[in-house]
Amino acid sequence: MTSLEKVEKVLNHIKSCSPGQDEFYQAVHEVLYSLLPLLKEDSRYFDYNILHRIVMPERTIIFRVTWLDDNGKIQTNLGYRVQFSSTLGPFKGGLRFHPSVNLGIIKFLGFEQIFKNSLTGLGIGGGKGGSNFDPKGKSENEIMKFCQAFMSELYRHIGKHTDIPAGDIGVGSKEIGYLFGEYKKINNEFDGILTGKGVNWGGSKGRKEATGYGSVYFAENWLNANEDSIKDKICAVSGSGNVATYTIEKLYDMGAKPVTCSDSKGTIYHKAGIDLATLKAVKEINKQSLEAYAVLHPDSKYIPTSAYPKDGHAVWHIPCDVAFPSATQNELTLVDAKALVKNGCKLINEGANMPTTPEALEFIQQNDILFSPGKAANAGGVATSQLEMSQNASMEQWSFEEVDIKLRQIMRNIFNIAYDTAKEFDHAGDLITGANIAGFRKVADSMIEQGAV
Ligand code: NDP
Ligand code: 2IT
């Protein structure tokens, strides 16, 4: 059997034993195919059955979360924690609270997290969790009640040497606070079992900003390698949550001009440049739709989803030099990729996890445009989470500047390893291949060293 046939066999196997998990198949498909140059030259990965093992979570926990809403009614949601790989360290990865969450989505995120965490060069395994709970339209009290109910089951599966969750979509410092409080109450222990904590009670300075800042540092490295820089670039950013907001903040800091942001209801195009203070006030503080931004800035344009191009997203049809998809999976389609290329975009830098569809990726690879895969470009968040764990373990708190210097260095290292590995396998400039092989090789070699477990 050829390497390709063996890869196809693994893919068919996961489809038959875990039906209906499209996002998970998508993530596995992308990673496994890009490993072919490595698999062809090193048969050990087949001899030790690494592919079949690595696509299977070490442990999958699904649980019921029951809580009381403000009317005293009993509500129920599903909770998940997929502990994918502890080869390089304790399971590590975020929690997502969004109505679209299901096992396939948590598995795709957990699978990506294995290789992302490996690329950081830090000792962290991969995992992900969350719930189909929708925080939108819930009162503060209901969010707190839900978080407490979620932790009343999750607590028995996590620990500072076992599994350390953090935030993701719908889970920010507020939710982490409620989750932490409940864990502490149950265990009677003040422990670093979550990251993204408040800076007054064990959180790291710079963690909130880290994913967005890191994404821009990654883009800068990629542009520098092409004798260019982010300075003066017109940038299209999607999303308006944690990653998008701090991407926009860092873009201004480095002399670029972000002109867009978006949410689940629409897109803002502000040619003069997104007003960061308004964006934070509308989304972070008031939790409004971006329509409110356009009211405050009549020179900006609001495009509701009903006016999006067919099979596309308005944000990618606005001319830009660099695109930062920073909202969610599959938010940049073939139609969008064609518009970006047509408008002369130089770089697509993934801040979100798997925002680009497979068809869009294929088109991008056939065209003269730089691409940064999310598992490399958005790794600054989880890397800074590990810096938080390190501070918790030593009972220290580092300054914002210290954390930022380390983050910049980590992003440079990730870029270098993805870039050099692509070259090593005759795929110069293809950071998808470079990041996947580099991330995989370290985990797979370590699995071989740790035996059949
Ligand atoms: P937030 O919850 O802070 O923000 C998410 C943003 O994306 C919001 O603007 C939201 O719009 C929008 N969004 C979410 N789902 C959809 C959807 N189905 N369609 C359209 N828009 C959507 O999340 P984060 O900023 O933390 O996460 C953004 C992305 O970055 C995710 O892919 C996440 O996995 C990834 N990521 C996050 C990291 C982190 O540290 N937080 C680290 C690495 C990656 P609305 O406000 O209308 O809901
Ligand atoms: O996708 C991600 O890397 C995150 N949501 C952050 C995970 C973490 O543990 O900080």
Question: Which residue out of 92, 107, 116, 128 is catalytically annotated?
Answer: 128
Q: Which residues of the chain have pLDDT under 70?
A: none
Q: Is 353 in the pocket of ligand 2 (CB under 6 A)?
A: yes
For residue 263, how far is its CA from the centre of ligand 1 (angstroms)? 9
Q: Which atom of ligand 1 is nearest to the CA of 172?
A: 3
Q: What tens digit of pLDDT does each residue of 154-209 get?
A: 999 999 999 999 999 999 999 999 999 999 999 999 999 999 999 999 999 999 99
Domains of the chain, with CATH numbers?
Answer: 59-189 (3.40.50.10860), 208-372 (3.40.50.720)
Q: Which atom of ligand 2 is nearest to the CA of 168?
A: 5
Pocket, ligand 1, Cβ cutoff 6 A: 100, 167-170, 211, 239-244, 263-265, 326-328, 351-353, 378, 381
Annotate the chain with three-state secondary structure. CCHHHHHHHHHHHHHHHCCCCHHHHHHHHHHHHHCHHHHHHCCHHHHCCHHHHHCCCCEEEEEEEEEECCCCCEEEEEEEEEEEECCCCCEEEEEEECCCCCHHHHHHHHHHHHHHHHHCCCCCCEEEEEECCCCCCCCHHHHHHHHHHHHHHHHHHCECCCEEEECECCECHHHHHHHHHHHHHHHCCCCCCCCCCCHHHCCCCCHHHHHHHHHHHHHHHHHHCCCCCCCCCEEEECCCCHHHHHHHHHHHHCCCEECEEECCCEEEECCCCCCHHHHHHHHHHCCCCCHHHHHHCCCCEEEEHHHCCCCCCHHHHCCCCEEECCCCCCCECHHHHHHHHHCCCCEEECCCCCCECHHHHHHHHHCCCEEECHHHHCCHHHHHHHHHHHHHHHCCCCCHHHHHHHHHHHHHHHHHHHHHHHHHCCCCCCHHHHHHHHHHHHHHHHHHHHCCC
Q: Is 168 in the pocket of ligand 2 (CB under 6 A)?
A: yes
For residue 246, how far is its CA from the centre of ligand 1 (angstroms)? 12
For residue 6, how far is its CA from the centre of ligand 1 (angstroms)? 35
Which residue's CA is minimally distant from atom 9 of ligand 2? 93
* Gyration radius (Cα) of the chain, Å: 21
Which one of the ligands is nearest to 171 CA?
1
- Please report the pLDDT score of residue 17 as a whole number: 96
Query: Is 231 considered catalytic here?
Result: no
Q: What tens digit of pLDDT does each residue of 296-320 get?
A: 999 999 999 999 999 999 999 999 9
- Please report the pLDDT score of residue 368 as a whole number: 87
For residue 127, how far is its CA from the centre of ligand 2 (angstroms)? 9
Q: What tens digit of pLDDT does each residue of 362-406 get?
A: 999 999 899 999 999 999 999 999 999 999 999 999 999 999 999
- Please report the pLDDT score of residue 159 as a whole number: 98
